[in-house]
Structure 1
Amino acid sequence: MDKIAKRIENCRRHLNFSQSELARKVGVTPQAVQKWEKAKTVPRGYTLEKLAGVLGVSPAYIQFGITDASSGGHFSVEDEKTEYLVTGCSKQEEWPFSISREQFSHFSDEQRSLINRYIEILWQSVDRKEN
């Protein structure tokens, strides 16, 4: 949840919105925005969609740090560890993700947590092999 909180805060600051202004645009209370940015809760469903629209990003970016790639609805990941694990290449190289936005949006919090844990375990394994 900390990464989600940071992405929301960074996007809000990039747009020079106060927490109150963002809350008004999304249709929530300023306290809701404060809770998101303090990683106490996360936006879900329609609120997540609305927040993403106001911030000019995708819901997948807010939840996972995933941004649209220029190639036909595929994804690229901003996290270099994840990208390295999945592709074995650096950020400079082209990388398409083979899962659609629709499929990705249906992951539960538990599934996202498991995916993140799996990536961390893989990264630790790669790190040990390189040392």
Structure 2
Amino acid sequence: MDLEMAQRLVDRRKAAGLSQEALAAQLGVSRQAVSKWERSESSPDTDNLIALAALYGVSLDELLYGEADSDADGTEDGSTGAEASDEAEEAEASAEFTDCSDKPLVDISLTRGIHVIDPNKGEEVHFGWSGIHVTNERKGEEIHVGPSGVHIDTLEDDGHSVHANADGTVVIDGEQFSSWKEAHDKLDHHGKHFHTKLGRAWNKLPFPALVALAYMALGIIYGAWPMGLFLVFLIPIYYALGDFIDRRRLSKLIDGVYPAAAITWFLYMWLCLEQPHPAWVILITIPIVKALMRWCRKQWKHRKQA
């Protein structure tokens, strides 16, 4: 989709007084899809184009190609002096927008509020009568503060959804709590929900502090300061085991244990045995294993949804 059509979609939406979130809700698509249309990264399909035209009260030709046809009709009637001038100004403004596409776009209106888009960073900020809405397309983050409460989404694979309601209740990842205190009691500071008492106790143990004490003991008693540094790699392994105990997710266990084990083995081969080659090959396998585990989680999620 070209930039001119993308800009028309932006203009039509703003003229209708709709935010990207509101438009997405009316069309039954994600806000990210609307954002990609308006940044010319993708095009609406036929059904969505028809729905957009009906929503804005225009024809498909007007939505796709602007108002060139009506301007042409006016030229035949000999009454397009001012219209041709307006069209030239619009084309100049469009060209200016294209040339300045690397700068944030700002729209200020008493009815629509303040709307700022930074295409390069994938960020969008809106201040209006409905509240404050902030999105970051690249990081997959979305925050809305309004009369209905606070809504936070981190849309990536391991992200969380948080919604504070006007009655004081809190919904985190679809689970409702009577208050922030109840949510705090049942979740850790990362928003992770514990399914078992053993899992909660495992993760609450200050294991990094114990590792630090063990390192000091090895250094003071045995003088093993360099070798003691390998204890640090026990920390991610410990918490990966805790997550597995609590959730029984083998892919997350492998995802957490394998990188730490691979790096530990490579450092041992390099620093202790002076054999960095071909031990470095193990490092290449880390992103492969992590990608494989992520794929397994997505496949499992799709299977559960089906």
State the SS of the aligned residue for 2:40: coil
Aligned 8 A contact 1:4 1:42 in 2? no
State TM-score, norm by structure 2.
0.24
Kindly indicate whether residue 25 of structure 2 is the aligned counterpart of residue 31 of structure 1. Answer: no
Structure 1 or 2: more strand by fraction: 2
CA RMSD of aligned residues (A): 2.7
Give the letter for the 1:16 counterpart.
Answer: G
Could you say which residue in structure 2 is the equivalent of 1:14?
15
Could you say which residue in structure 1 is the equivalent of 2:62?
61
Give the letter for the 1:18 counterpart.
Answer: S
Q: Which has the larger radius of gyration?
A: 2
Q: Identity across aligned pairs (percent)?
A: 32
Superposed, 1:68-107 pairs within 5 Å as 75-77=69-71, 83=72, 91-92=80-81
User: Where has structure 1 moved over 3 Å in runs of 4 or more?
Assistant: none
Kindly indicate whether residue 41 of structure 2 is the aligned counterpart of residue 40 of structure 1. Answer: yes
Q: Distance in 2 between matches of 1:62 and 1:33?
A: 15
State TM-score, norm by structure 1.
0.52
CA deviation string 1:98-121 (max 9, x = no partner): xxxxxxxxxxxxxxxxxxxxxxxx
Aligned 8 A contact 1:19 1:33 in 2? yes
Q: Distance in 2 between matches of 1:41 and 1:90?
A: 37
Alpha-carbon shift at residue 56 of structure 1 (Å): 1.9
CA deviation string 1:25-84 (max 9, x = no partner): 1221111110111011121311100111112222111110137xxxxxxx414xxxxx4x
Q: Distance in 2 between matches of 1:40 and 1:9?
A: 13
How many residue pairs get matched?
80
Q: Distance in 2 between matches of 1:23 and 1:2?
A: 20
Give the letter for the 2:8 counterpart.
Answer: R
Aligned 8 A contact 1:25 1:54 in 2? no
Alpha-carbon shift at residue 92 of structure 1 (Å): 4.9
Q: Distance in 1 between matches of 2:79 and 2:32?
A: 39
Give the letter for the 1:57 counterpart.
Answer: V
- Flag the structure with more relative contact order, 1 or 2, with Cα contacts below 8 A and sequence separation at least 6: 1
Give the letter for the 1:54 counterpart.
Answer: L
Q: Distance in 2 between matches of 1:41 and 1:6?
A: 13
